[in-house]
Structure 1
Amino acid sequence: MRENHLKSRTEDEWDMAAVERDAIKVSIQQNNCTDTESFLKKYYLPAAYAIEFVIGLIGNCIALFGYFFCLKNWSSGSVYLFNLCISDFAFLCTLPLLVFSYTNEEWTFGDFLCKCNRYLLHENLYTSILFLAFISIDRYMLIKYPFREHILQRKSTAIMISLGIWILVSLEISPVIIFLKQDIINNVTICPDYSSSAHATGSLVYSLCLTFTGFIIPLCVIWIFYLKMMCFLKNRNQQLPNGASFKKPVIIVVLAATMFSFFFTPYHVMRNLALASQIESWTLSGCSSMIISSAFIISKPIAFLNSMINPVFYFLMGDHFKEMLLAKIQRIYKSLKSIFNSRWA
Structure 2
Amino acid sequence: MCEHMNATSAMENLTLATSLSECDLAESASRRKLFLFFYLAIIITSIPSNAFSLYVSWQHIRQKNELGVYLFSLALSDLTFTVGLSLWLDFLWRGVWTHGGYVCVLSVYFLFTNFYTSDALLCCIAVDRYLAVVHPLKYTFLRKVGTAVVVSVAIWVLVVCFNATTITWEDSYHENNKFSVCFDIFLPLSENLARANVARFFLGFIVPVLLVLFTTWGICEAVKSNQATEEQERKRISKLLTVVLICILFCFGPVHVMMLIRILVDDCRKVAWFFYPYKISIAISTLNCLADPLLYCFITRTGKANVSKVVLFCQLKKRSKDECVV
For this structure pair, what is the TM-score category when the shorter chain's length is used for normalisation?
Answer: 0.7 to 0.9
1:187 equivalenced with 2:178 (yes/no): yes
Partner of 2:276: 294
1:173 equivalenced with 2:163 (yes/no): yes
Give the number of aligned pairs. Answer: 303
Contact (CA 8 Å) 2:258, 2:278: kept in 1 or not?
A: yes
Tell me the percent identity. 22
Contact (CA 8 Å) 1:70, 1:324: kept in 2 or not?
A: no
**1:212-248 deviation digits (Å, cap 9, x = unpaired):** 1122111111111011111112222xx4263542321
Partner of 1:15: none
**1:98-133 deviation digits (Å, cap 9, x = unpaired):** 011111011111222111111011000111011111
Contact (CA 8 Å) 2:60, 2:66: kept in 1 or not?
A: no
Structure (1 or 2) with the larger CA radius of gyration: 1
2:42 to 36, 52, 62: 52
Partner of 2:233: 245
Contact (CA 8 Å) 2:53, 2:75: kept in 1 or not?
A: yes
Contact (CA 8 Å) 1:196, 1:275: kept in 2 or not?
A: no
Separation in 1 of the partners of 2:248 and 2:122?
A: 8
1:61 equivalenced with 2:61 (yes/no): no
Partner of 1:262: 250
Partner of 2:124: 134
Separation in 1 of the partners of 2:158 and 2:254?
A: 24
SS at match of 1:94: helix
Partner of 1:235: 225
Separation in 1 of the partners of 2:321 and 2:231?
A: 47
Contact (CA 8 Å) 2:123, 2:208: kept in 1 or not?
A: yes
Separation in 2 of the partners of 1:297 and 1:314?
A: 28
Separation in 1 of the partners of 2:287 and 2:310?
A: 28
Deviation larger for 308-317 or 155-164: 308-317
Deviation larger for 59-68 or 76-85: 59-68
SS at match of 1:93: helix
Separation in 2 of the partners of 1:145 and 1:108?
A: 53
Partner of 2:305: 323
What letter corresponds to residue 286 of structure 2 in structure 1? F
Q: Which runs of 5+ in 1 are unaligned?
A: 1-30
Separation in 2 of the partners of 1:235 and 1:67?
A: 31
1:210 to 200, 224, 241: 200
**1:19-58 deviation digits (Å, cap 9, x = unpaired):** xxxxxxxxxxxx9x956x5457622321221111111112
Contact (CA 8 Å) 1:50, 1:99: kept in 2 or not?
A: yes
Deviation larger for 199-208 or 95-104: 199-208
Instruction: Say if 1:145 and 1:107 are closer, same or farther in 2 by CA, change over 3 A.
Output: same
Partner of 1:122: 112
Deviation at 1:187, TM superposition (A): 1.6
Contact (CA 8 Å) 1:133, 1:222: kept in 2 or not?
A: yes
Contact (CA 8 Å) 2:105, 2:169: kept in 1 or not?
A: no
TM-score (norm 1): 0.77
SS at match of 2:98: coil
SS at match of 1:108: coil
Contact (CA 8 Å) 1:80, 1:131: kept in 2 or not?
A: yes
Instruction: Say if 1:297 and 1:318 are closer, same or farther in 2 by CA, change over 3 A.
Output: closer
SS at match of 1:183: strand
What letter corresponds to residue 191 of structure 1 in structure 2? C
Separation in 2 of the partners of 1:61 and 1:70?
A: 15
Contact (CA 8 Å) 2:69, 2:148: kept in 1 or not?
A: yes
Separation in 2 of the partners of 1:59 and 1:263?
A: 18
Alignment of 1:71-150 (within 5 A): 72-145=62-135, 150=140
Partner of 1:308: 290
Contact (CA 8 Å) 1:119, 1:177: kept in 2 or not?
A: no
Alignment of 1:268-279 (within 5 A): 268-277=256-265, 279=266
What letter corresponds to residue 181 of structure 2 in structure 1? I
Deviation at 1:75, TM superposition (A): 0.9
1:226 equivalenced with 2:216 (yes/no): yes
Separation in 1 of the partners of 2:188 and 2:64?
A: 46
SS at match of 1:190: strand
Deviation larger for 174-183 or 82-91: 174-183
